[in-house]
């Protein structure tokens, strides 16, 4: 298992090793001891999964504030996504910057996104399934969001607003500059 820090060092790309033979393959997807060394002593309390039928579905950018802030371990089970983490920690030297990583079912790659980041993704193919584990249970009272295509964030999404399939809620999220930045 290879752990690679992204351009924002707290976001970690995790590449498990796939062992293949004529029967198929075996992959060790998660090892708590290795995860602790590279990401910290993190516990996961909820696992989520989504299916996005059309290519170009955008989900996000979402986060939760304290006391329910969530770290997320994200994996694409079917299809492929562009996964995005935006640093919303006001005291961070990378505040307002983002990391964008392609995750696909073919590669088994995970992305660790600690709390203090807004998270979203765009599907690159139809019928994409995404799984993620979180460090705090979903809390509607603490849920927040950022407009996915805010020009201040300069995220290079694989679709523009006219092509994207976006929920009504995500289309109405506030811009990055208007956030209270309570993480």
Residues 125 and 123: their CA atoms lie apart, in Å, by: 6
Phi-psi label, residue 172: left if phi above 0, alpha if psi -120 to 50, beta otherwise = alpha
Residues recognised as catalytic:
62, 132
∠67-118-1 over CA atoms, to 5°? 95
Helix H or strand E segment including 117: strand 117-123
């Amino acid at each position: 298992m290879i752990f690679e820090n992204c351009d924002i060092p707290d976001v970690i790309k995790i590449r498990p090793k796939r062992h293949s033979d004529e029967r198929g393959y075996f992959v060790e997807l998660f090892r708590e001891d290795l995860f602790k060394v590279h990401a910290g002593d993190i516990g996961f309390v909820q696992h989520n999964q989504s299916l996005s039928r059309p290519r170009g579905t955008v989900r996000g950018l979402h986060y939760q504030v304290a006391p329910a802030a969530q770290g997320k371990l994200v994996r694409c089970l079917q299809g492929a996504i562009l996964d995005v983490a935006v640093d919303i920690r006001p005291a961070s030297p990378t505040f307002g910057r983002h990391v964008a990583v392609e995750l696909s079912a073919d590669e088994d790659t995970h992305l660790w996104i600690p709390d203090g980041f807004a998270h979203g993704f765009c599907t690159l193919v139809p019928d994409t399934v995404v799984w993620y584990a979180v460090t705090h249970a979903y809390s509607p009272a603490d849920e927040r969001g950022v407009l996915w295509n805010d020009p201040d964030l300069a995220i290079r999404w694989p679709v523009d607003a006219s092509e994207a399939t976006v929920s009504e809620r995500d289309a109405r999220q506030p811009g990055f500059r208007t956030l209270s930045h309570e993480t």
